[in-house]
Amino acid sequence: MARRWLAVATTVAVAAFAVLVLAPVLNSVDDRAARATATASGTPTAATTVTAAAAASTLPPGTFESAVFGYRITLPQGFRRVRSVVVTDHPQILGTDGYTTATEAEAQAECLRDLGDMPSASSAWYVGVDVRRMDPGTSLMDWARNSPYKSPRASLAAATIDGRDAVRFVEDGTTSLYAIAGAGRIYIVSPTMWPTALPIDTIAASFRVIPPQPFPTPTPVPPLAPQEYARQTANALATAFASRDADAVARLMPPCHIGVGFYIDGMPSGGVLNRSVPLFIQELRARFARGDLAVTVNSAPQVQSDAGGQHFYVPSEWREADRSVSIDLFLQAEADGHWIWYMAMHHYTRQEIGPRGCIPLRSPWNSALYSSC
């Protein structure tokens, strides 16, 4: 059975691209939370990224505690907490913690690889705990039935964990994730991909709710409209490309991977590439040095609206000696009010891709000056 991404908090973040059949572009746990909250609310959201350490040295190996979110959980040997994101001004989302078996060196190495249209191998060993406010007038089961975490094929089973109401999400007879109620919150415990080899039932059974501590004070987000944030980001991109400043472009991108999707004769092709940002910047710098690539960015943001809200992008033209490619640069709010360019939708004609359907990518979108098409 093919692996797939679970419909966790990132479902909200990538709702705009569900119709494009694009996979989410997730570089770290803070990417997941920041994008989800910003998209769900339609406005930049105050979020604090916190380096997470064990709450106390007395915790046994494999047990992690979050004083702010108010829980304790035990994971198999070899897991570490990556980072935490605390969201302070969203009506439902409080934040997320992420745990992985990948070492820091392995995570850095993944940034230097293109991932194609599948998540990385280490994603199979990633566990997330998403935290949301619970509506006192809605039962956990009712919330689960209508939540963004439930896929169409999932069934729901009532459970009890730590003496508290819980809901087990089941697909093809096996557990895909748990929702647990406690302290006026809903905790969603899930792997990144499903089917999973992780003992998710055992992990969820270890979950304990503890008295939560106050949230940290977030970095203030300037009171600007999303359109203004998008305009400022578009202007910064336009200036960086016009100046042929690859480092300035890099500062407006995710740290590890950027999504690359395609329109063919105006229709989404389905599928996505996850291009290594360090490799992209390396190739972009080389193209700028050779002087054989010019990029013009329209600094007036465009808006794409759907059930997930408003999504901003700016058109751009990538001109070479023998061709010009139109690419829409999608913009997204990150933590602390910072906006980035995180998705590139390329426009091609059916004639350009030919009968084999080969997308004629060139550097900096791959590491070859000329494509193999």
**Domain match, 188 and 333 both:** no
Quick one: 196 and 287 in the same domain?
no
Asked if 114 and 44 sit in the same domain, the reply is yes
* Whether the Cβ atoms of residue 59 and residue 91 lie closer than 8 Å to each other: no
d(CA 158, CA 170): 11
Structural domain boundaries, residue 260: 226-353
Which has the higher per-residue pLDDT, 317 or 3?
317
Number of residues assigned to the chain: 373
301 and 178 housed in the same domain = no
Q: Does 236 share its domain with 150?
A: no
For the whole model, what pTM was predicted? 0.68
Both 205 and 261 in one domain: the answer is no
Nearest to 252 by CA among 206, 299, 218, 214: 299
Same domain membership, residue 142 and residue 91: yes
DSSP string of 170-192, one letter each residue: EETTEEEEEEEEETTEEEEEEES
205 and 95, same structural domain? yes
**Residue 372: its pLDDT value, please?**
61
CB 299 within 8 A of CB 234: yes
Domain assignment present for 122:
yes
Q: Is the same domain home to 175 and 233?
A: no
The pairing of strands 294-297 and 309-319 is antiparallel
Residue 98: name the closest of 34, 40, 14 by CA.
34
- Residue 243, C-beta contacts closer than 8 angstroms, at least 6 positions apart: none
Same-domain pairing of 204 and 258: no
- pLDDT tens-place string over residues 189-213: 999 877 888 999 999 999 999 999 9
Quote the pLDDT of residue 26.
34
Q: What is the DSSP letter of 60?
A: P
**Number of domains within the chain:** 2
Q: How far is CA 214 from CA 2, 94, 217, 335, in A?
A: 42, 12, 9, 19
Q: Which residue has the higher pLDDT, 122 or 360?
A: 360
Lowest mean pLDDT among 4-8, 118-122, 144-148, 360-364: 4-8
Buried b (16+ CB within 10 A) or exposed e, 159-182: bebbebbbbbbebeeebbbbbbbb
Residues paired with residue 339 on neighbouring β-strands, in sequence order: 333
Q: Which residue has the higher pLDDT, 13 or 121?
A: 121
Question: Which CATH number is 349's domain given?
Answer: 3.10.450.50
Sequence-separated (6 or more) residues with CB below 8 Å from residue 6: 149, 176, 177, 190, 191, 192, 193, 194
> Torsion over CA of 95, 97, 103 and 107, rounded to 10 degrees?
-30
Token couple for 57: 């040295």
With 70 as the cut, is the pLDDT of residue 54 above it? no
Q: 138 with 232, same domain? A: no
Rounded distance between C-alpha atoms, residue 301 and residue 331, angstroms: 9
